[in-house]
Amino acid sequence: MSQSNLYMLLLVVAIALLLTQISIKQKRTMHVLFAVFCGSVAMVALKKITGEQIGAYQYLIGMTTCATCNVYWLLSRCLFREKSPIALPHLIMAASIACLVMFNQGYLFVSNLYDIQFSSSFTHHFLGELIGLLSSCILVLMIWEGFRGFQQANKLEKKQRTFYLVTIMGAIGLSTVSNSLFVDDPAATDWSVGLITLTVLINTQVLVYWRRRSSLASKTTLSVTHDEAEESKNRSLTLIEKEEENDFAKAILALIVDEQRFLQANLKVVDIARELNVSEYRISKALRNQLNAKNFNDFVNRLRIEHASSLLLDPDKQHWSILVVGLESGFASVGPFTRAFKSHTGFTPNQYRLSHQASSEEEADLHIQTP
């Protein structure tokens, strides 16, 4: 592959990856930085392709190549740092290198466009050395980002960091070797640098995608774990609440049944609530959930009807009137007693007593007739 074809391929790949980052709906900082890096690499490729054909204007293109290693350093921080990966000092550092590159390319543009020979080439030389020094520092920081926290990382992240370090350190090492081997052949040097840059672009896209997928998977796992913990907590709370409600229902039974408070006329839920020092709602809830009662009155009336039934069938109480039985069972008058009794048994109190008396007499006659 010729040098021009290689850089044309680099240009196409850089633009394609740039558009890929732009198309991502839920962008993160690393996607934005990688898009900027791809754009700058595309300009590097374009500058190499056009070369001397556009003369001094190649340096205008060169001004847009100011976001390579400095932006890649910011990207590396976003890849491996969860909290506050980029602060103001980091932006200032990256912006300073970008400004120096732009100034240096602008200097070359002016001097070549107007054929101005400045009194000294010191400025251009100084800027080149300073940019090289700062770029070297940035490369060291990029490598450091891969090693930082390596021992504490999980298996997956160690693989990702290793992939990153192999890419960066391999690119730096191969660039150094090619510069030494092809010191007298700039075309060969440019060809090797283009191939290395292409590899870095592709590997970085793989790493960005890999990191994003693992981050989403981690968040999903944490979310599921959190939900399971919440569900377990809710189940525990529900069991505790049920146990407390069951104990509370026993306390209600002890007060109403064991102490026969249901025989008290005009007994209301507020009376029991005051006795137990709880809300009326809590008593009603316990009656519904634990004692299968529609409401407080329904529960109390059931107890009263059971008591009245035993009085109506008691041989020693046959001379008691229905009114007396109702009053002794906790009803205030015969009307409410009769309605409640029929609602629960299907008979009026008098019908209930007479039917059982008839049954008892039939059993007695049958016993006499039996030899």
Distance of CA 221 to the CA centre of its chain: 9
- Are 32 and 160 found together in one domain? yes
Question: For residue 238, is it within any domain?
Answer: no
Question: For residue 113, is it within any domain?
Answer: yes
- Are 141 and 283 found together in one domain? no
Question: For residue 291, is it within any domain?
Answer: yes
In this prediction, residue 119 carries a pLDDT of 47
In this prediction, residue 224 carries a pLDDT of 47
Pull the structure tokens for residue 221: 């796992």
- Are 172 and 267 found together in one domain? no
Question: For residue 252, is it within any domain?
Answer: no
Which of the listed residues 156, 187, 215 is the one where a domain comes to its end?
Answer: 215
- Are 203 and 350 found together in one domain? no
- Are 196 and 56 found together in one domain? yes
Which of the listed residues 197, 215, 233 is the one where a domain comes to its end?
Answer: 215
In b/e form, how buried is each residue of 207-232, taking b as 16+ CB within 10 angstroms? bbebbbeeeeeeeeeeeeeeeeeeee
Pull the structure tokens for residue 92: 């200032």
Instruction: Give the Å distances, CA to CA, from 22 to 27, 39, 162, 259, 315.
Output: 8, 11, 27, 78, 95
Q: pTM score > 0.75 for this model?
A: no
- Are 112 and 49 found together in one domain? yes
Angle at 177 between CA 70 and CA 146, to 5 degrees: 40
Domain containing 140 — which CATH number?
A: 1.20.1070
In this prediction, residue 182 carries a pLDDT of 81
- Are 320 and 197 found together in one domain? no
In this prediction, residue 13 carries a pLDDT of 94
- Are 25 and 131 found together in one domain? yes
Question: For residue 159, is it within any domain?
Answer: yes
Domains identified in the chain, total number = 2
Question: For residue 133, is it within any domain?
Answer: yes
Question: For residue 174, is it within any domain?
Answer: yes
- Are 95 and 200 found together in one domain? yes
Question: For residue 32, is it within any domain?
Answer: yes
- 102 in Cβ contact with 66 (< 8 Å): yes
**Residue at token pair 């910011």:** 74
- Are 289 and 190 found together in one domain? no
Pull the structure tokens for residue 120: 């000294």
- Are 209 and 264 found together in one domain? no
CA distance 62 to 40: 9
Q: Which domain holds residue 41?
A: 3-215
- 94 in Cβ contact with 70 (< 8 Å): yes
Pull the structure tokens for residue 159: 């693989």
Q: Per residue of the chain (371 residues), give pLDDT as tens.
A: 688 889 999 999 999 999 999 998 888 889 999 999 999 999 999 998 887 788 888 888 989 999 999 999 999 999 888 888 899 999 999 999 999 989 888 888 888 877 766 544 666 677 788 888 988 899 999 999 999 888 888 888 899 999 999 999 999 999 888 888 887 788 888 889 999 999 999 999 999 998 888 776 555 444 444 556 566 655 654 666 677 778 888 888 888 888 888 888 888 888 888 888 888 888 888 888 888 888 888 888 999 999 999 998 888 888 899 999 889 989 988 898 899 899 888 899 988 888 887 766 555 555 445 54
CA distance 324 to 302: 18
- Are 274 and 360 found together in one domain? yes
Domain containing 352 — which CATH number?
A: 1.10.10.60
